[in-house]
Structure 1
Amino acid sequence: MLPEHAPFTPDQRRALEAVLSGLDPVQRGWLSGFLAATGVSAASATVAPAAATKLTVLYGTESGNSEVLADRTAKEAKKRGFQAAVKNMSDIAAADLAKAGNLLVIVSTWGDGEPPESATTFYKEFMGASLALKDVSFSVCALGDTSYDKFCQTGKDFDTKLEALGAKRVTPRTDCDVDYEENYAAWLNTALSAFAPSAPAPAAAAAAPAAPGALVEYGKKNPFPSEVAESLILNGEGSAKETLHIELSLDGSGLVYEPGDALAVLPVNAPDVVQAVLQAAKLTGTESVEVKGEGSKLLADALREDYDITAVSRAVLTKLQAATGSTELAALLADDAKEKLKDWNYGREIVDALETFAPSGLSAAALTGIFRKLPPRLYSIASSPLAHPGEVHLTVAAVRYQAHGKARKGVCSTYLTDLVKKGDNVRVFVQPNKHFRLPDSGETPVIMVGPGTGVAPFRAFVEHRSSLGHPGKNWLFFGDQRYTYDFLYQLEWQDHLKSGALSKLDVAFSRDQPEKIYVQQKMLEHSKEIFAWLEEGAHFYVCGDASRMAHDVHEALLTIVEKQGRKSREDAEAYLEDLKKTKRYQRDVY
């Protein structure tokens, strides 16, 4: 019933009451959104949400996407009447989940089915826990990448474990690929509605047109066309490597960043790669196809600009098998052939799958149907905004190799190397990384380990501390193949040593002597001093390859703490774990 003080005539009141009484909750929610979008208060037409329903939004993130979505989730939940709290897996204990009540989990999977770096400790603790979670209701949104075999594995693990501990799953887990916006939005609406079915979300109001002269907001949904101000090869002639230093303009973008953040670059596929795919599919490229969000485009343009046409995965092969009916591919995708599939995939690309399993070709629609959206690539930012205002710098290694008799190349690295020239525009946005930050105090010592392009964020770190006049000591361990050709930013490091901005520099060049030397060996040579710095409160940072380097550096650091601190292996591991929890041991690995 409408209240007596409602500003309607008796006839209007009766008419409105008749309409409202015949609406279900979803219809009322839609009407509320419609009235809100037209600037009319719809308070009398909505069903009030349950007061102060508590909701915990738990996230684990590697690149920052899960954290962004967790914040968005809490914001939307508060609009619907929830008392929402956001929790980082790195900041809570597994036992805390017993008090969560309503729980939404947003977690990414990294590497070979592993949890994010910052969530590793919580993940291990939770997976080994024997909690009673019968009073917890939950839903999981898993972020992943279908180009990896263990797609969304961490989210799957959380979903399974929560149920095993007695928690009630209110909506099915949603697994999101790199293009996650649509799936995430559907999951969020369904999950929040499940927690509070009497309070459906009002439909999103139509965005008001921008006022004349209003600033354009750039970000993930609207990347900034950044002009390339400089592009230089850092390696000397004769090097086996091809590493670029790229300077991009941020003038007019409104984009801001901090040392430790990443820059996302949206590449396009190389013309020769596009042509190879067209040839394998027996198409010309002049066919018309519908691209989601783009409308009708020429196939060649869509392959160049919109689709990931290289990364072969189970998801891609499954779609290809459905399109071709290939019995050979069906056998390879069978549950008992996982190792065979893994072996077949290694070093191959989508073009190989087309040639092998679709020898008669595909229609344009069938071809585009097997692809996912071309994802952006993240690069650690190699500059301080204080040292280079209005600019952002990258350190990019061109990826080129041979596999199965064909020349292969990295999509984005060779896009920046081969296709982009000075004066061209590159679409970019900033990806914050709050888990890779300089110490709050400018007096805190810093130890940085960054071989190869892993040195990029440490160039930013040293520039930033120097620009701020911070007195804290800075120690860099750098490694690459050869001193003569591959000493990235050599002159800059020497200048920083002279000025005092860099206190110590230790280098390891693996191929300048018969026995290879790596950064972890240099660390062990300075065990006593590294431990002394740690005892002084130093922060320890690692950036670069996760598969071997980061593991080897961790083992070296563990050995240093064990021997110099006269600790057992277990106590040394606990020492490093405490460094992680207090943000004094941070890694940006890939």
Structure 2
Amino acid sequence: MNAVVAIDNRLPSMEASRLSTLERLVDGLGPAELYWIAAWSAARAERLQRGDASTAVAAKAVAGQLTILYGSQTGQARRVAAQLHARAEAAGLAARLVRADAYPQRELAKETHLVVVISTQGDAEPPDDARGLVEFVLGKRAPKLPGLRYAVLGLGDSSYPQFCAIGRQLDDRLAALGATRFAALGEADVDVDAVAAPWSDSTLEQARQALGTSQPARVATLQPVPHRATHTREHPFHAAVLDNQSIVARDAGRDVRHMELSLEGSGLSYEPGDSLGVWPSNPPALVDQWLGVLKLDGEQVVTHEGRSLPLRQWLSRERELTRLSRPLVAVLADAAGDDELARLLRPDQSAALAALMAEHQPIDLWRRHASDWSAEELVAALRPLVPRLYSIASSRKAVGEEVHLTVGVVDYVAHGERHWGAASSFLAQAGDEQSLPIYIEPNERFRLPQDDARDIIMIGPGTGIAPFRAFVQERRETGARGRNWLFFGNRHFSSEFLYQVEWQAALRDGSLHRLDLAFSRDDAAKVYVQQRLREQGRELYAWLQEGAQLYVCGDANRMAKDVNAALIDIATTHGGHTHEQAREWLSDLLQQGRYARDVY
């Protein structure tokens, strides 16, 4: 049902044709979007009502425009930047929102007020959509910027040693180029809003003062009729489980699930390449481990930041139990008085810290570095539990009001104890009678080409195959004319060839044109997808030279880097490039959007 508003009768009337056009434009928008339009319209009206001074004001607005740039891999930086942009416009500021790869770099020298919201991926890597901008700003061609006032918000994950490294590098570099901060550097952990919200408040206030707007724009009074809210990260939809089955053999050694969830009644939509956000609960057995190791009572009520819950509920639904972070290591080292653990926090020990965080869960450190903890201290020390993102494995054109996932279940023994993943265990145990809190996270840079005659090359080992199942379904349903080439790899052909029957059917019906496979444990010599890429290098390079788009999905730490190296080798071997030219060629494909990565 569309939102209905009561409009002040004293407002001037609108021609019927224009009103009809306006109604068509806003049809289907949710309350948040309609309120944003209302605020933007009010700000525009106020500027127009300034009469004879409008020309001077317009000139000042252009000269004092606030540019908000974002670089985002998972959508968090985009979300924060979009919220800041909407608030800036509602406050009467002239502001524009630009994705980093769409920003004309020559304009940097002309900027007067700039906000950058950017994430750091893995080991101090920029998001793919910001690689070009970061290289430009950090490089020799960056201009001097004495007239620029700026603010940077870095997003990251403190489970990586170089937390928010890209944000720090940009903040330092802009200052070195002569620019002046109008807000201090912000560094947000996975609980993004805990830092992003107050940072945005402060930055917006500083921007308003710097740009001469001390008060927000007046907004016309609108009285909305109650309307069902759009389902978002903050207000997820509870999706019924339609199917949950293992798609590997019993002797595979690990479980991979195919899941189908109902979106009926949600109003949610998605495109191939988008992700599904899932709000998990920690496994009950893991919660029991924590209570046992720390000798705490799960029924004890703990009050933290104004909320009172039993400790078991804090640990089940509210706190991160499976991912280590640098701050947590520091807190534990201090509580235990452990010099060896504290030593890992030194800058020269970053490799050792990275290894610790990759190989251990928090409970492992609590076992090894014992100390007394109260329930209140534990809840305060642990990070909030945050949603997990899964690449969507279906096309709505093929499955209707459903969304499908491919989930690798984390369940293993290490250091003499059983370990679980939070979200994957939560999903693996979901039964037919259960509903799961979910939302859609768009991925603008991981889309099928608009030209359906363009060829695509998909590289997705393991569960990285998920979005390419969606791609092939979509291209089949739309009758796309371009060819589809898939590279898939896993450990064993007989037990871990995910969606084998579907790929064989796709080859028969022509919706998949080529399939190259790499199973690393079937022979004495391990074979991975990057080796298959090199073997097919001549034809792969030819496809790319003819305009094909290239997609990679899966592990960021090893696979994606190995694939990137293989592509550079292919360009040097079959394209006649030097190594540096090959790197530039691949970087150019990335900037064009013809080399897209969904890596994690």
Shorter-chain TM range is 0.7 to 0.9
TM-score by length of 2: 0.85
Instruction: Give unpaired runs (5+ residues) of structure 1.
Output: 1-35
* SS at structure 2 position matched to 1:439: coil
Give how far 1:318 is off. 3.0
Query: Residue 122 of structure 1 corresponds to which residue in structure 2?
Result: 133
Give how far 1:315 is off. 0.8
* SS at structure 1 position matched to 2:79: helix
TM-score by length of 1: 0.86
Residue pair 1:319, 1:369 contacting (<8 A) in 2 also: no
Residue pair 1:447, 1:539 contacting (<8 A) in 2 also: yes
Question: Deviation string for 1:209-253 (max 9, x for gaps)?
Answer: 9845x3232111111111110011111232123110000111111
Query: Residue 288 of structure 1 corresponds to which residue in structure 2?
Result: 301
Change (3 A) 1:240 1:285: same
Change (3 A) 1:259 1:157: same
* SS at structure 1 position matched to 2:398: coil
* SS at structure 2 position matched to 1:296: strand
Matched, 1:316 2:341: no
Change (3 A) 1:482 1:356: closer
Which of 257, 260, 268 pairs up with 1:244?
257
Give how far 1:390 is off. 0.6
* SS at structure 2 position matched to 1:387: helix
Aligned positions of 1:209-288 closer than 5 A? 211=225, 214-288=227-301
| Cα distance in 2 for residues equivalent to 1:204 and 1:408 | 55
Amino acid of the residue matched to residue 503 of structure 2? W
Give how far 1:158 is off. 0.9
Which of 394, 403, 416 pairs up with 1:383?
394
Change (3 A) 1:348 1:551: closer
Matched, 1:532 2:546: no
Query: Residue 572 of structure 1 corresponds to which residue in structure 2?
Result: 582
Stretch deviating more after TM superposition (488-497 or 79-88)? 79-88
Which of 494, 503, 520 pairs up with 1:484?
494
Query: Residue 22 of structure 2 corresponds to which residue in structure 1?
Result: none
Matched, 1:133 2:174: no
Matched, 1:395 2:406: yes
Query: Residue 440 of structure 1 corresponds to which residue in structure 2?
Result: 450
Amino acid of the residue matched to residue 279 of structure 2? L
| Cα distance in 1 for residues equivalent to 2:104 and 2:92 | 27
Query: Residue 426 of structure 2 corresponds to which residue in structure 1?
Result: 415
Query: Residue 533 of structure 2 corresponds to which residue in structure 1?
Result: 523
Give how far 1:124 is off. 2.1
Stretch deviating more after TM superposition (450-459 or 523-532)? 523-532
| Cα distance in 2 for residues equivalent to 1:443 and 1:345 | 45
Which of 87, 93, 104 pairs up with 2:98?
87
Question: Deviation string for 1:50-71 (max 9, x for gaps)?
Answer: 8623111111111111122222
Which of 84, 88, 92 pairs up with 1:73?
84
* SS at structure 1 position matched to 2:399: coil
Query: Residue 65 of structure 2 corresponds to which residue in structure 1?
Result: 54
* SS at structure 2 position matched to 1:112: coil
| Cα distance in 1 for residues equivalent to 2:222 and 2:189 | 30
Residue pair 2:92, 2:216 contacting (<8 A) in 1 also: no
Amino acid of the residue matched to residue 447 of structure 1? I
Question: Deviation string for 1:440-497 (max 9, x for gaps)?
Answer: 1111111111111111000000000111111111111111111111111111111111
Which of 168, 174, 178 pairs up with 2:186?
174
Amino acid of the residue matched to residue 454 of structure 1? G
Amino acid of the residue matched to residue 272 of structure 1? A
Query: Residue 478 of structure 2 corresponds to which residue in structure 1?
Result: 468
Change (3 A) 1:313 1:574: closer
Change (3 A) 1:499 1:178: same
Residue pair 2:472, 2:511 contacting (<8 A) in 1 also: yes
Of all paired residues, the percent bearing the same amino acid is 38
Query: Residue 203 of structure 2 corresponds to which residue in structure 1?
Result: 191
Give how far 1:397 is off. 0.7
Which of 318, 327, 330 pairs up with 1:306?
318
Question: Deviation string for 1:148-176 (max 9, x for gaps)?
Answer: 22211111111111111111011111111
Query: Residue 33 of structure 2 corresponds to which residue in structure 1?
Result: none
Change (3 A) 1:305 1:102: same
Which of 394, 417, 435 pairs up with 1:406?
417
Aligned positions of 1:198-213 closer than 5 A? 199-200=213-214, 202=216, 211=225
Residue pair 1:247, 1:393 contacting (<8 A) in 2 also: yes
Query: Residue 441 of structure 2 corresponds to which residue in structure 1?
Result: 431
Counting matched residue pairs gives 544
Residue pair 1:540, 1:586 contacting (<8 A) in 2 also: yes
Change (3 A) 1:365 1:133: same
Instruction: Give unpaired runs (5+ residues) of structure 2.
Output: 1-38
| Cα distance in 2 for residues equivalent to 1:283 and 1:321 | 20
| Cα distance in 1 for residues equivalent to 2:344 and 2:585 | 45
| Cα distance in 2 for residues equivalent to 1:186 and 1:124 | 29
* SS at structure 1 position matched to 2:67: strand
Aligned positions of 1:1-12 closer than 5 A? none
Change (3 A) 1:233 1:344: closer
* SS at structure 1 position matched to 2:485: strand
| Cα distance in 2 for residues equivalent to 1:556 and 1:565 | 13
Query: Residue 28 of structure 2 corresponds to which residue in structure 1?
Result: none
Residue pair 2:304, 2:380 contacting (<8 A) in 1 also: no
